[in-house]
Each structure stands twice: as structure tokens, then as C-alpha cells.
Structure 1
Amino acid sequence: MKKSYLLTALVGCMALSVTAQDNKFANQPANPRGSTDGATTAPGFSHPNQYLHVQATQIADNMEPVIIHQDEVDEARKKLAEFEKRTGEKPNILFFLTDDVGYMDFGFNGGGVAVGNATPNLDRLAAEGLILTSAYSTPSCTPTRATVMTGQNPLHHGLLRPPMYGEPGGLGGAETVASILKKLGYKTQGVGKWHMGEVEGSVPQDVGFDDFYGFLGVSDMYTEWRDVYFNPEIALSPERTKMLAELNFNHYNVHVTPEKGVEEVYEIDLESIKNLDQDWTRYSEEFIESNENSDQPWFLYHNTRGAHFDNYPNEDFAGKSRARNSYSDAIVEIDDTFGRLIAKLEATGQLENTFIFVGSDNGPEQEVAPYGRTPFRGGKGSTWEGGTRVPTFVYWKGMIEPRKSEGLFFYADLFNTALSLAGASGTEVNKFIPEDRYVDGIDQTAFFLADEGQSARKSIIYTMNQHLAAVRIDEFKYHMVVQLQDAIFSQGLKGGFSGAVIPETGGSVMVNLYTNPQENLGIGNRYLPIVTQMGAEVARYAKVLAKYPPNIKVAMPGSK
């Protein structure tokens, strides 16, 4: 018996399944309950993905505790075994990560054509996959990308914000999902935006990528100081323009390999930036095509340039969105890119062998219009739902049952889940990482592959800058640190990174995200039995941080 199977079986014997716990009380007499209308004997209902009453299982000291659904684990393992028997290989893995796209920008979450930018390709695959309505990034770009790579939240990987204009990054040669997949026999290809640092140890070839084609920074680093509309104070000053042109950050679209390092392909300026997503799509298409007859599985990490400001639409997409603004045009181009990659997978006969994840690195940026849409409070740079709850779905033809789920999912879970699909499930991840490294991700293979799979995650831990900011369990969210987006500026650009962080709320600042997704009605004092459970989860994770302390590498100015 393989070690991973043995571990799952042992844990299953040690803990009651959630279903068993729910049914335990089904035939017992109802407690005296009621309201102003009088007592009731209504038994109530148990629902999936609700774990406030469930004790999660600690499977390893350095890993987040998990909710085990043993029947779903068994179903998922059976599916994977049958897939390997049928194909003789592990699945290909495609991460398709967009930039600053809001929860309601794509059609599968109620946006799309309704908000002026149709997304038919994304919507079609989402409808045939698992749409995750409670999927969470971190508040901003670099922290999320490092979270995907390392399976850690920002307090553990140490990149609390994006490094800009030559500031050093901080992956530090860490074992990543790419480097471990490579050890498990995968080809590893990165395309598009990187933005986790340009120094040794943080560039793609140092953290497991066989090949990378894209830029190392972020769109506005290449454009805003050149644009006489956005930054005339720099663009119309020869001396200041020269300063930015000579600043120590890479100004180029680059090709990166372990053998040759970073090779500069062409400079990114106001003209070439219009064609980046087209160029990157071509590169990923060629990668997919080159593996048509390969027996080796592959990992493709494709990151779009859109829709991070500044959006300069490609000439084929300028005005193509119904909204006819630069942001919506970028969303339409993203959808076209995704459609092209899917078409290439279909044409080469690889779609059925490929697990696909689609998401955004954070909620919509809300300081430089035009920008994305979210039905929730706040945006990029905050831990309000608008900043961290992002459009997400997973797809694997014939392996994932089409459905929607509100089960909690954190982008760190991609690390564990990808490695599990590649053969290193559960605690086997520890074979590849140092003993002192904490893994915030959770293996969600059973959630995805079981036909009615439930999340293995009990809580979402929100971090903002150097703070442990909030926790969510089920529909309840408890705030310790919040961002007030208009606390400083009464007009003009506000919110996002321009707001004020309040590092201490009250003792019972809690909301119900089902009844109040806008997070503008506090309910803590009426729900003290739940507040105490939320506080216990905060205390649990505080102990994790005491044992596995934060390792801050890139922080906000003035952070302690």
C-alpha cells in the first residue's frame, strides 16, 4: 500500500467523517427552541461545506489542518488511478492567471456581456467545470503569485507587497510548485507576467522553470513614466525620464533558461506593450503544440498582462468590447487568449489529459480607472471581500463534474493540489521542503474530483501587509485589521493602497457574508457563540505564527 493511501486511511479511522457527525444527531429529540412565535420542533438541515462545528484534523505539524471526507478521498483516488491506467501518464497542469480582474468581470460570475465585455470562451469552460464562488487570493499581485508558487500565505513567504522599479524580490531559491513538479518528472514552462523579483534566487530559472518567456515586472513599470497623459511631470522632463530609463529594473520582454539566464528580447514601451498578450499567447500555443506527442507531462504557468493598468489595447481588440474602454477591451482579449489555448489543447488531443485552473491574482484595482467590477466591498489592497474574493474555476474534461460550490478555497491550495495530481499527496509534500517551512495550502484533489466533492478547508486566513487581518469560517467573517478606503482622501484616487489600515478593530467585528456580502453590517454582539469560535481559530493560527514566525522580505514602508 502506498504511503499516501495509508496516511489517508489512518486519518480516516482516527476521525469521524463530516457526514457521520451530521447524522449522529438526526434521530435525537429536538432541543427546546423557538422564537417570539413560540417553540418549534423543526429539526433543521445540514448543508455541505459548513464546518463551524467540526474539528479539523492535523495531518502534520507544519501543515494546515484539514477536513477529511473519506468517501470523497476514495472516489478521487479511484478516478486518478483509472486515469493513469487509461493514459499511462500523469495529467498536464495549466494555471491561467489573470491580473487585477474582478469577481464580476467574467460572464460565469454574472459579468461578461452584462458589464460590456463578453467572455464566451471562459464561460463555456466554466460551465463545464467547477466554479468556485468562495475562492481567495491575497490582497495584491506579488503576494498571490508567491502564494501560488510556495503554498504559503504572505506572512510565511515574506513578499507582503509587489516589488517595484528595481526593488529586490524575495523567493530566495525556494522550492516551488514548479521545482517540485520538475522533480516529479514534469516539463515546466512559465509565460507572461512574473513579478516576484529580478534578483538571483527569485527569477524563474532559479525556482524550477525549464523555460520562461515574458516580463519580470508589471505593466505600469514600463508605461506610466513614458505617458504624457498619466505622468507628464516625468514624461515631459528629459532628466526625470532619463532617471527612469536608467533605473535598475529590467525594461524588456525576456527569454529565460537555466543554461543562458535572462536574455532580453525586445524593450517594452507604449507600442510593444499592446502586443504582449498576443506574443505570450503564441508562445504558449507553441509550447502546447510541441508536446503533442510527448510522453512527459507538463506544467504551464500562463499569466496574462491584462487587465492591469495601463491597458493599451491591441489594435485587433481596441473597441471590441461593448464598453469600448481599455479595461473591457483587455478582458475581451484575455478571453480570446484563453480560447486559443483551449483550441490548441483540443487540436493536439491534450484537453482530456490537462487539469486547468483559471483565476485572478487579486480583486479589481480601484484607483486608476477604468477598472474591474466586484459585488463586494473594497478592492485590491484590502482584505474586504472585493480585494481577495476572485473569479475562479477548475476544469478537467471527464474528471471534474460540472457544478458550483461555495466551499472555501485559498490560492495556496494550488501548490498542494498540483503536487497531489502529480503523485505527492497529503504529507508527501514534506519530502520536498525544509522541516521549518509551514505549508498554508491544503490538498483539494477530492474537492475537485469527487462528483459532489466538498472543500477540505475549514477556514480562510486573511493577511494584509504584516497583519493577521481576518478569518472566515462558513458564512462568517471576523475582522481584526481592516482597511478604510476613504479614510485619508476625501476626493480623487482613493482606496486600494491609498486607504488607511486600522490595526485594531473591536472585540466582535463580524459579518455574515450570505446575508451581507457588502460587509457593512456588524453582527458580532448578537452572535457571541460564533464569535468565540472565530476567536479560537484566530488563536490557533497565532500559535502557528509563533512556531513558524513570519519571514518578511518585501514590506510596506514603515511596517514593523
Structure 2
Amino acid sequence: MRAVYPIATSTLLGLILLGPVSVGLGQKPNLDRTLRTADNFEPAIPRSDQDDVVATKLAKLKKETGRKPNILWLVVDDMGYGDPGCYGGGAAVGAATPNIDRLAREGLKLTSCYSQHTCTPTRSAILTGRLPRRTGLTRPILAGDKLTKNPWADEVSLARLLSDAGYFTMLTGKWHVGEPEGMRPHDIGFDEYYGYYPAQKEISQRFDSRRFPDLVNDPERMRAFEAIAPDNHLTHGFKGGRTEKLAQVQSLEDMGRAEKVLADFTIEKIKELAKGDKPFFIEHCFMKVHCDNFPNPDLGSLSAAKYFYKEAVAEVDLHVGEIIKALDEAGVLENTFVFFTSDNGPQMDGWPDAGYTPFRGAKGTTFEGGVRVPGIAYWKGMIEPGRESDDLFDLMDLFGVALNVGGVKHDTLPTDRYYDFIDQTSFLLHDEGHSQREAVYFWWGTELMACRMREYKVHLKVALPESTHMHIDYATIQDVGLAPWLFNLYIDPKEQMPVGHRRNAFLATVLGKLKQHAATFKKYPPKDVGL
């Protein structure tokens, strides 16, 4: 195994600043089309004509319906870029996804949509509009962790902003951003929560004697584990703190049935809310396809492959179809913005209970395989069917889209912190929309790892597996060496051949963009919550 000699981010950024490839003081990178409209907001590419068209479009819809649009996010856990059929997977890899594919055909398929490298960072970023490095939510909160402060205490969540704007807000399914009081979904702004706090494996390992015999078959160890283990109850929470523990997962069959329980709840809630006078924001977070997956014994075989992971992909697709059908039958489909995605790339450490990506890396890394995810925007009558775009979209931008759709002005946000989202509403809703994001930044914990700008991606540090599929359990973070690794993703999407000094004139430009990004952390220092 190669040794790791970490360099502090500040030192590395100093090298960027002072090295021969840095951008001179006052010099604007020649590929950077952005304009900064406020000191504490990420600069965006101005597209005023596009914005005006979409503003008119939204105003017309509101006049016709007499109410604000609904918002529905469908967030899968650990689905690979190559799992859905519309992204090259589906039936070709043993699990057809007709409902997800239909969303893509009838909406906008994004081919450069980015998450964070793992669950908790993505799930916190989309609800705060801020990079996890800023909020302190840089990784999953594990059993035995001692937080020094509640990271949510001074964050203004999207759920709270939309609730204050007249929305009913609900999160169904996996949370994974804190179980203690004050950190639960119904503590941070959601009106209602119905789901499980942890990932599937953190629940099912109590019962899986073949995978975890040293735990399940040892009563003494099981007692010690239960003392610190995450809750395995289905939890029903309400704003104000009331929390009910419902059915407890007590077997692998119960775990297999959990996904349908959650989907059925969201479907019934859609029917109920559609009859009310409030618009709704629902974040439906699937438990699957995060390992360990177990099939629902009541549904029968759903995939050609029969492997548990493929069964999970097919079940997610089944429930996506049912949820969209519920919107249609409730008469609100044409007034609901839907976005389908995954919280990160596939967790290859669980293979073969893991997904597929055509790119290098996987969950846990900031290579494309870890952070490039499916992203489908669907809104019947508002998004032109059959659109596809490779323009950049960061899942944090959903925060900005939701604010715009919900009528929440940016000037209501606090000015004492930096916001990384970009309002991409006009990109998604204009018939020929273009992204307003120039760059996506990738962090791993407190380490600044990489940046994508247009088709170029530069790495300062990399997470390298020391064995096949071991992107988390047997990987090391390493400095890249003499020069940053620069890839042109249009000719090398697998990030195998750096072209910084041989076939590229834009290394300094991308490094200049990173320099600007780093400066925001000096002016708006990040939080440390003990993770």
C-alpha cells in the first residue's frame, strides 16, 4: 500500500495561488462566464432572456391553477449512473426500469448531474444549499460519534423556508442526517416525517446471520451493539417534536417490505394533500438500493437478473411509477415539479449487492463514478419532453429551484454565510435551457479534492482503492503529485489520461476557479461539529 503524505488544503491552495499556473491578481479566467450578484452567493452564468421566459411561464401556470406548484423529489440511495435503462442500464443489465425511463423520455435527462461522494453530505447539501464542508455535515454520523454541536441548529433548511411560504413539507424514507433530538427531519423544518433514520444495512445487520454471524450469534456482542445501534423502528414525526415509534424491523423479510410501506404512505399522502388548499413539498427517500438489499417477499420476482440488488432497482422503479400515477389520479401531475436522482454513485464495497457506473471510481470517491448520478427533471406541460443536456447541474441547485418555484426570495436568506446553490429553474424549464453553473466543486471531508469546469476536471487529491471495488473500506486519499491531474471528460470520461501539459491550455483557468472558491472559505469560515 502506498503511503499517504497529506498536505493541508490551505497549503495546497497556496501552491495554486503562487505557482506558475496561477491566475494573476485581478485577472478573470477566460473561460469563466459567471457574474457574482451577491458576496455570499455562488456566481452564476447570467441568462436573463431565459429567466424572463420561464418567469412568465410560471406566472401563467399560477394564474391558471390559482396556487403554487407542488414539489416532489425522488431520491434513491446509492443507485449507479448506469443502472436505469435511460442511462444505458435497465434490461441490458438485468433490471428493466420502464417507469424511470418514461420520466426521462417525457422530461429532461441530465447527463452531467452531480452529488456529493456519500449519503449524508448530499442529503444535507440539497436541504441547505451549502457544501457539507461549510455546514460540518461532511460524513454519516456513526454509532459512537460525539458531536460538539448540533449542525442543524443555525442552518435554515429548505423545508423550513417552504413551510413558512405556505407549503406542507414532508420527508418519507431514509434520513441519515442525524437521529438526536434537534436533528430529526421534523425538528429542522419538515411538517411530517415517516421513515427510518439510518441506511438499510445498519438495520438489517441485526438479523443477517450469514453476513454477520459474529454479531447475530453472540448475545454479549449483540447487547453491546444494541446499546449504540441506530433505531430500527419505522418513525412517524411531526413538527413540534411529537414522535411515534411504529413497527420495528425484526427480520430480513420486514426489511424487504419496508420500501413498499414507505411508497404506500407517500401515495396516500399525495391523495390527501391534493384535496387540501396547501401546495406540498415531498422528499421521498428510498431505502433501496443501499446494501444490504432484501427482496419484498410479497411482490415476487421483479428482475431478470434475480440478484437482490437488481430486484431492488426494479422495485424502486415500480414505486416510482406508482407515485407518478398517484399524482396523475389526484389531478396534480401538471402542477408538480418532479426530480429523480441518486444521493451518490454505487457502493461497490458491497458488490455484488451494488450498482453500475461506466465511470472511474464509486461511492466514497470524487472520481466521476462516485459523484456523477442520474438526474431527471419532469413536469408535465412545463418541461418539453425528450430533452437531454450535458450542461452542469449540482444537486444543491435543487435548493434554488425549489425556492424559485415556491416563491421564496433569495434576500430572505441569512447574509452571514455562503450559499453554493445556483437557481437553475430556467435551465430546467426553458425548452432550450442552458445551465447557469460554470463549475462543480468536490470535497472529501475537509479536503478540497477536485473541480469540474465545462468538460474539464482537475484533481488536487484523489481517493484510490487498494483492491478491486474497495473504494471505501480499502482506499487511501493521496496527493496527485507534481501537477494537478486534469482530464477532458469529453475525450476521457473514465479519467485515465491527464492532459494538463500535453493537450490542454486551460489548466490555469480551472485552477483560477478553484482559487476563487477557496477564498470564500476564508471570508465565511466553515463550521466544525466534531465529525
Tell me the TM-score normalised to structure 2 length.
0.91
Once the two structures are superposed, the pairs formed by residues 449-464 of structure 1 within 5 Å of their partners are: 449-464=429-444
Once the two structures are superposed, the pairs formed by residues 371-450 of structure 1 within 5 Å of their partners are: 371-402=354-385, 403-424=387-408, 428-431=409-412, 433-450=413-430
Name the CA distance, whole Å, in 1 between partners of 2:142 and 2:292: 15
Q: Which residue of 1 aligns with 2:7?
A: none
Name the CA distance, whole Å, in 2 between partners of 1:92 and 1:142: 25
* SS of corresponding position for 1:160: coil
Matched residue type, 1:256: G
Q: Which residue of 1 aligns with 2:256?
A: 274
Task: Verify the 8 A CA contact 2:187 2:241 in the aligned structure 1.
Answer: no
Matched, 1:128 2:110: no
Question: Aligned in 2, Cα 1:317/1:481: closer, same or farther, shift over 3 Å?
Answer: farther
The superposition leaves residues 214-266 of structure 1 with CA deviations (integer Å, 9 ceiling, x where unpaired) of 01111111112431111111111110011122325322110001245221102
2:296 to 314, 326, 336: 314
Name the CA distance, whole Å, in 1 between partners of 2:163 and 2:189: 7
Task: Verify the 8 A CA contact 2:74 2:341 in the aligned structure 1.
Answer: yes
Name the CA distance, whole Å, in 1 between partners of 2:382 and 2:133: 34
2:90 to 112, 120, 131: 112
Question: Aligned in 2, Cα 1:317/1:110: closer, same or farther, shift over 3 Å?
Answer: farther
Matched residue type, 1:224: Q
Question: Aligned in 2, Cα 1:317/1:173: closer, same or farther, shift over 3 Å?
Answer: farther
Task: Verify the 8 A CA contact 1:164 1:217 in the aligned structure 2.
Answer: no
Higher relative contact order (CA 8 A, sep 6+): 2
Shift of 1:165: 2.6
Name the CA distance, whole Å, in 2 between partners of 1:135 and 1:79: 24
Q: Which residue of 2 aligns with 1:244?
A: 225
The structure with the larger Rg is 1
Name the CA distance, whole Å, in 1 between partners of 2:410 and 2:157: 11
Q: Which residue of 2 aligns with 1:103?
A: 81
Q: Which runs of 4+ in 1 moved over 3 A?
A: 166-170, 316-319, 503-506
Name the CA distance, whole Å, in 2 between partners of 1:201 and 1:360: 26
Once the two structures are superposed, the pairs formed by residues 228-243 of structure 1 within 5 Å of their partners are: 228-243=209-224
* SS of corresponding position for 2:247: strand
1:154 to 132, 144, 164: 132
1:209 to 177, 184, 190: 190
Name the CA distance, whole Å, in 1 between partners of 2:498 and 2:191: 50
Name the CA distance, whole Å, in 2 between partners of 1:52 and 1:108: 35
Matched, 1:539 2:510: no
Matched, 1:327 2:327: no
Name the CA distance, whole Å, in 1 between partners of 2:144 and 2:179: 8
Task: Verify the 8 A CA contact 1:160 1:552 in the aligned structure 2.
Answer: no
Matched, 1:88 2:66: yes
Name the CA distance, whole Å, in 2 between partners of 1:347 and 1:52: 51
Name the CA distance, whole Å, in 2 between partners of 1:368 and 1:87: 47
Task: Verify the 8 A CA contact 1:223 1:310 in the aligned structure 2.
Answer: yes
The superposition leaves residues 258-287 of structure 1 with CA deviations (integer Å, 9 ceiling, x where unpaired) of 245221102123232111111001110111
Matched residue type, 1:237: D
Identity %: 39
Matched residue type, 1:412: M
* SS of corresponding position for 2:45: coil
Moved more, 545-554 or 129-138: 545-554
Once the two structures are superposed, the pairs formed by residues 341-356 of structure 1 within 5 Å of their partners are: 341-356=323-338
Shift of 1:546: 1.0
Once the two structures are superposed, the pairs formed by residues 170-185 of structure 1 within 5 Å of their partners are: 170-172=151-153, 174-185=155-166
Q: Which residue of 1 aligns with 2:12?
A: none
Matched residue type, 1:500: T
* SS of corresponding position for 2:92: helix
Tell me the TM-score normalised to structure 1 length.
0.86
Shift of 1:554: 5.3
Q: Which residue of 2 aligns with 1:366?
A: 348
Name the CA distance, whole Å, in 1 between partners of 2:530 and 2:96: 37
* SS of corresponding position for 1:478: strand
Which blocks of at least 5 consecutive residues in structure 2 are unaligned?
Answer: 1-28
Task: Verify the 8 A CA contact 2:72 2:283 in the aligned structure 1.
Answer: yes
Name the CA distance, whole Å, in 1 between partners of 2:335 and 2:30: 37
1:76 to 33, 47, 54: 54
Name the CA distance, whole Å, in 2 between partners of 1:230 and 1:546: 46
Name the CA distance, whole Å, in 1 between partners of 2:394 and 2:514: 17
Matched residue type, 2:53: E
Question: Aligned in 2, Cα 1:312/1:145: closer, same or farther, shift over 3 Å?
Answer: same
Shift of 1:288: 0.3
Task: Verify the 8 A CA contact 1:67 1:456 in the aligned structure 2.
Answer: yes
The superposition leaves residues 92-145 of structure 1 with CA deviations (integer Å, 9 ceiling, x where unpaired) of 000100000000100111111111000101111111101010000000000000
Name the CA distance, whole Å, in 2 between partners of 1:259 and 1:240: 36
Please provide the CA RMSD for this pair: 1.6
The superposition leaves residues 474-515 of structure 1 with CA deviations (integer Å, 9 ceiling, x where unpaired) of 1100000101112xxx46x62234300014543231001111
Matched residue type, 1:463: W
Matched residue type, 1:309: C
Report how many aligned residue pairs link the two structures: 497
Shift of 1:318: 5.0
Q: Which residue of 1 aligns with 2:6?
A: none
Name the CA distance, whole Å, in 1 between partners of 2:209 and 2:482: 46
Question: Aligned in 2, Cα 1:318/1:306: closer, same or farther, shift over 3 Å?
Answer: farther
Task: Verify the 8 A CA contact 1:170 1:554 in the aligned structure 2.
Answer: no
Matched residue type, 1:521: M
Question: Aligned in 2, Cα 1:554/1:319: closer, same or farther, shift over 3 Å?
Answer: farther
Which blocks of at least 5 consecutive residues in structure 1 are unaligned?
Answer: 1-50, 556-560
Shift of 1:166: 5.5
Q: Which residue of 1 aligns with 2:170?
A: 189
Moved more, 358-367 or 312-321: 312-321
2:471 to 495, 500, 505: 495
Task: Verify the 8 A CA contact 1:190 1:302 in the aligned structure 2.
Answer: yes
Name the CA distance, whole Å, in 1 between partners of 2:464 and 2:249: 35
Name the CA distance, whole Å, in 1 between partners of 2:484 and 2:443: 18
